């Protein structure tokens, strides 16, 4: 199997403490110096799709594809992994008996293949039983909702932060119950307050934020049929409906350099107000059914410099679906 590295865009970004101000931020050629940190951002793994659809997907397909991606990412020098959510094929509307083999299978693969630390975010497909009708849940089950995936991954909190080298990393939980829909992409009030406090307590550190769905991006324009009636219409289930709050928060926190996400299974990079936003396709491409438009199975390889520069590259894992 050939390994085709897909260099979609490299955007090193110069800004902030202690170097340039936001106003001076500019796109430049890749920095010649060695990065201070290298990480892999694996998102939308959708493990177990082949367990759910035995007619159309080869048994073991997702296990094989995930194993290839984990090995490839670590061979590129990733010092740790950010797992961006939608780890599971489907828990949202499935009974426990269908969810359990997905949980067990994916945890086993990470245990076996990941030789570096892994930090997990929660995606919409990872949440057990929010669709009570289809899943047959009551909402009273101890592992209902986000509890099961948190327990399986050893997450004490659904959102959290940590430091690596000079950098600060924040993992947020952006899938919230929707009143008129399955879910909406935003932060709850408690979490937003926590994020504000966490950023103000870590102002001197260049910061990366990991979310499941994009805070900002262009790929949601191409995620579904959004322009059928003569207007672009982007769903609040595709992209953060509270993006304006983030914009204001980031203005007060110029140490925020990079926001990574998935969810659309598409690849984009946007530089807005001095913050780089990168959506890193999907390990599963189109949930293992093939490529997702231009997205082949892959992951984001992220290089970080202590002065706040970043470079994000979408790398094909080499696993072929077509
Ligand atoms: Fe997904």
**Residues within 5 A (CB) of ion ligand 1:** 44, 86
CB 281, CB 265: distance < 8 Å: yes
**Closest C-alpha among 272, 318, 281 to residue 46:** 281
* H or E stretch at 298: strand 298-304
Tens of pLDDT along 172-206? 999 999 988 999 999 999 999 999 999 999 999 99
Is residue 8 pLDDT above 90, yes or no? no
237 CA to middle of ligand 1, Å? 12
16 CA to middle of ligand 1, Å? 32
Is residue 282 pLDDT above 90, yes or no? yes
Is residue 125 pLDDT above 90, yes or no? yes
Span 32-55, average pLDDT: 96
106 CA to middle of ligand 1, Å? 15
* H or E stretch at 131: none
294 CA to middle of ligand 1, Å? 15
- Tell me, what's the pLDDT at 28? 46
- Domains by residue range for the chain, with CATH: 36-227+237-316 (3.60.21.10)
227 CA to middle of ligand 1, Å? 21
86 CA to middle of ligand 1, Å? 5
209 CA to middle of ligand 1, Å? 18
CB 152, CB 103: distance < 8 Å: yes
Collapsing DSSP to helix, strand or coil, 184 comes out as strand
Number of other residues whose CB lies within 10 A of the CB of residue 224: 14
306 CA to middle of ligand 1, Å? 31
232 CA to middle of ligand 1, Å? 22
User: Which residues, including other chains, have CB under 8 Å from residue 179's CB and lie 6 or more apart?
Assistant: none
In this prediction the pTM is: 0.91
43 CA to middle of ligand 1, Å? 8
285 CA to middle of ligand 1, Å? 9
Q: What sign has the CA pseudo-torsion 161, 31, 26, 42? A: negative
Can you name the residues that pair with 50 across neighbouring β-strands?
none
% of the chain exceeding 70 in pLDDT:
90
- Tell me, what's the pLDDT at 46? 98
176 token code pair: 């919230």
Q: In the structure, what pLDDT confidence band is assigned to residue 43 with cuts at 50, 70 and 90?
A: very high
217 CA to middle of ligand 1, Å? 16
15 CA to middle of ligand 1, Å? 31
279 CA to middle of ligand 1, Å? 12
Please report where in the chains the tokens 């946007």 appear, as a residue.
Answer: 270
- Tell me, what's the pLDDT at 30? 59
Distance CA 317, CA 312 (A): 15
């Amino acid at each position: 199997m050939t390994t085709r590295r897909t260099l979609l865009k490299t955007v090193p970004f110069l800004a902030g403490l202690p170097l340039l101000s936001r106003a001076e931020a500019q796109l430049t050629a890749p920095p010649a110096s060695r990065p201070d940190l290298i990480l892999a951002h694996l998102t939308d793994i959708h493990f177990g799709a082949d367990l759910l659809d035995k007619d159309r997907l080869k048994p073991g397909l997702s296990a094989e594809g995930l194993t290839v991606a984990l090995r490839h990412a670590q061979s590129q020098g990733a010092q740790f992994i950010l797992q961006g959510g939608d780890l599971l094929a489907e828990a949202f509307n499935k009974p426990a008996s269908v969810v359990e083999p997905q949980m067990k299978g994916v945890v086993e693969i990470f245990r076996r293949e990941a030789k570096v630390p892994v930090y997990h975010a929660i995606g919409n497909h990872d949440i057990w039983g929010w669709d009570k009708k289809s899943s047959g849940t009551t909402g009273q089950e101890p592992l209902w909702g986000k509890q099961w995936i948190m327990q399986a991954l050893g997450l004490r909190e659904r959102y959290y932060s940590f430091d690596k080298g000079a950098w600060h990393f924040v993992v947020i939980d952006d899938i919230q119950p929707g009143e008129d829909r399955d879910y909406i992409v935003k932060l709850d009030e408690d979490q937003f307050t926590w994020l504000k406090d966490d950023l103000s307590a870590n102002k001197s550190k260049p910061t990366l934020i990991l979310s499941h769905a994009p805070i900002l991006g262009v790929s949601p324009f191409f995620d579904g049929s959004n322009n059928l009636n003569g207007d672009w219409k982007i769903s609040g289930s595709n992209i953060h409906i509270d993006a304006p709050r983030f914009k204001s928060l980031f203005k007060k926190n110029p140490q925020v350099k990079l926001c990574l996400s998935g969810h659309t299974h598409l690849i984009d990079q946007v530089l807005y107000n001095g913050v780089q936003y990168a959506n890193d396709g999907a390990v599963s491409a189109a949930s293992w059914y093939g490529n997702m438009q231009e997205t082949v199975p892959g992951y984001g390889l992220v290089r970080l410099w202590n002065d706040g520069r970043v470079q994000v590259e979408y790398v094909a894992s080499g696993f072929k679906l077509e």
